């Protein structure tokens, strides 16, 4: 109980220091975050190391090259100079998933490639995941969860600059960051956060030179993959819905204008990965 009181006091003190209303990119929604971005970047970096430990990472070859290229273009569109961008392709053909941690730490599993189908498809999912980070969805949700003892303890561990995180705290933190599905705790972002990431992701992909209409098709392909092999992890945290695609169609003309100014000369819709 003492820990809880102390943590709450710490959080409130931090809150008082950084009371800031940040604006979400493109949608301009005002959000209130209790957690400083520098702290979130630290959480992202140490969590990334933990998540990649024991995974087989593909560092060479065409798929890794494409991931690096798309990552470079999307991160340039996201324009976050304080981010230390990293892109990893995890070799796991059964895992249909991708995620991004605060501070620009991104991972794609080889299992998601058939649903992406082409470079533009990858650019949308990359844009969507990056958007969760740049729109601070993780810290917004952690702010909402601060009443949970686990969250407080977990956060305190990080604030004490301790990089070893107890498994139970780790699950809470990962859940808050939206990568829960990969550690067995499914805690999806809210529908509002998902729609927001769709919109920002479309804008990033268009800015990076990829045709934004492909973003709507990715969801259909994700569902096809689901039909073949059960519900992929990505769909369990990112349920496809007509409302979502409708929202994307609404933003399409604005994204298209951006694309027309930046379109890449090569064919980014060429089929690279087969279902």
The CB-of-147 to Zn ion minimum distance in angstroms stands at 24
DSSP classification of residue 3: H
Q: Please report, to the nearest 10 degrees, the dihedral formed by the alpha carbons of residues 79, 116, 133, 82 taken in order.
A: -30
The CB-of-196 to Zn ion minimum distance in angstroms stands at 9
Note whether 98 and 109 are within 8 A (CB): yes
Nearer to Zn ion, 89 or 197 (CB): 197
Of the candidate spans 103-111, 133-141, 194-202, 225-233, the one that interacts with Zn ion by CB under 5 A turns out to be 194-202
The CB-of-195 to Zn ion minimum distance in angstroms stands at 9
The CB-of-213 to Zn ion minimum distance in angstroms stands at 19
Residue nearest to Zn ion (CB): 197
CA separation for the pair 140, 256 (Å, rounded): 29
DSSP classification of residue 110: G
The CB-of-89 to Zn ion minimum distance in angstroms stands at 19
The CB-of-112 to Zn ion minimum distance in angstroms stands at 13
Q: Is 135 in the site for Zn ion (CB under 5 A)?
A: no
Note whether 52 and 41 are within 8 A (CB): no
Nearer to Zn ion, 7 or 237 (CB): 237
Site pattern 20..49 for Zn ion (x: CB under 5 A): ------------------------------
Nearer to Zn ion, 41 or 128 (CB): 128
Q: ∠ at Cα 64 (258, 273), nearest 5°? A: 75
CA separation for the pair 62, 160 (Å, rounded): 41
Nearer to Zn ion, 11 or 205 (CB): 205
Residue 177 — left, alpha, or beta (φ > 0 → left; ψ -120 to 50 → alpha)?
alpha
Nearer to Zn ion, 99 or 259 (CB): 99
CB burial of residue 147 (10 Å; 0-12, 13-18, 19+): exposed
| Residues 82-94: b if buried by 16+ CB within 10 A, e if exposed | ebebbbbbbeeee
The CB-of-234 to Zn ion minimum distance in angstroms stands at 9
Q: How many residues bind Zn ion (CB under 5 A)?
A: 1
Q: Is 197 in the site for Zn ion (CB under 5 A)?
A: yes
How many C-beta atoms surround the C-beta of residue 13 within 10 A?
Answer: 10
Q: Is 112 in the site for Zn ion (CB under 5 A)?
A: no
Of the candidate spans 97-105, 166-174, 193-201, 214-222, the one that interacts with Zn ion by CB under 5 A turns out to be 193-201
Of the candidate spans 64-72, 196-204, 221-229, 255-263, the one that interacts with Zn ion by CB under 5 A turns out to be 196-204
Closest C-alpha among 127, 74, 78, 83 to residue 105: 83
Which residue is it, tokens 């498994």?
167
Q: Which residues bind Zn ion (CB under 5 A)?
A: 197
């Amino acid at each position: 109980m003492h820990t809880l009181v102390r943590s709450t006091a710490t959080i409130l003190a931090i809150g008082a220091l950084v009371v800031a209303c940040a604006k979400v990119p493109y949608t301009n929604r005002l959000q209130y975050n209790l957690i400083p971005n520098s702290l979130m970047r630290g959480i992202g970096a140490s969590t990334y190391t933990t998540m990649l430990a024991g995974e087989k990472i593909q560092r060479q070859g065409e798929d890794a090259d494409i991931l690096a290229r798309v990552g470079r273009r999307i991160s340039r569109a996201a324009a976050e100079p304080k981010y230390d961008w990293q892109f990893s392709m995890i070799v796991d053909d059964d895992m249909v998933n991708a995620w991004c941690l605060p501070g620009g730490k991104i991972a794609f599993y080889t299992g998601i490639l058939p649903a992406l189908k082409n470079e533009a498809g990858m650019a949308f999912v990359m844009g969507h995941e990056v958007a969760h980070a740049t729109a601070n969805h993780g810290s917004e949700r952690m702010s909402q969860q601060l009443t949970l003892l686990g969250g407080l303890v977990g956060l305190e561990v990080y604030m004490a600059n301790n990089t070893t995180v107890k498994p139970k705290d780790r699950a809470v933190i990962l859940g808050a960051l939206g990568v829960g599905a990969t550690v067995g705790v499914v805690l999806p972002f809210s529908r509002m956060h998902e729609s927001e990431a769709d919109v920002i992701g479309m804008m990033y992909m268009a800015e990076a030179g990829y045709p934004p209409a492909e973003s709507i098709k990715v969801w259909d392909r994700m569902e096809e993959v689901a039909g073949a092999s059960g519900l992929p992890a990505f769909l369990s945290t990112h349920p496809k819905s007509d409302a979502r695609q409708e929202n994307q169609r609404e933003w399409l003309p604005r994204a298209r204008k951006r694309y027309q100014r930046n379109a890449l000369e090569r064919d980014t819709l060429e089929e690279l990965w087969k279902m």
